[in-house]
Amino acid sequence: MADTITVTGVVGTVPQLGDAAGTPVCNFRLASSLRRYDKQSGKWTEYGTNWYSVGAYRYLGKNVAASVNKGDRVVVTGRVRLREWSNQTASGMTVDIDATSVGHDLTWGTTTYRKHNQAEADHADADQAEDAREDGDGFLPDASETPDVPGAPLVETAPGASAESWSTVPPGHGREEAA
């Protein structure tokens, strides 16, 4: 079973779209820093930066290469792997993330979403399903595993419940939740 991680940070290198044995892959480095505001000094204090090597494959990789730039603040979710390395002058450990999802961090700005045509989306879904089967850890949650929180996907949670009885929009932002 693979470990999953979600990291927010700044894209530290220009995302590079390449090819890995016939599969498109986009690679970039992600910097995640911890900063805290010190009330006594009135300044922000940095507590170090963690660096991650991110790889996004297939359509995700193509979309990342077309959408993400160096300096963008992003959220990355994926499978994490620690890899030791050494050369003649140094050695260390790299944290690799095999991305399953990448998006702009909307805490810091806005973005515009553009959906692919249905044929591309169906092909991407089939690729992701095949990857999950190969990894042995892919599954689709049933309704009992979906939390009842605003913003959760529309899911039938009980026999006879309809999608209209649940809202994916927080109260006061358009469609109101059913009582």
Domains of the chain: 4-140 (2.40.50.140), 143-179 (no CATH)
How many Cβ atoms from other residues are within 10 Å of residue 114's Cβ? 8
Rounded average pLDDT over 25-29: 96
Higher pLDDT, 8 or 135: 8
Query: Could you give the C-alpha distances from 121 to 66, 84, 125, 126, 153, in angstroms and in order?
Result: 16, 36, 6, 9, 18
pLDDT, tens only, 39-60? 899 998 888 899 999 999 999 9
Predicted pLDDT of residue 36:
86
Structure tokens at 5: 């991680």
Q: What is the pLDDT, as a whole number, of residue 117?
A: 67
How buried is 84 (Cβ within 10 angstroms: 0-12 exposed, 13-18 middle, 19+ buried)?
A: exposed
Q: What is the per-residue pLDDT for 68?
A: 95
What does the pLDDT look like over 87-127, one tens digit per residue?
Answer: 999 999 999 999 999 999 999 989 888 887 656 655 655 66
22: alpha, beta or left? (left if phi > 0; alpha if psi -120 to 50): left
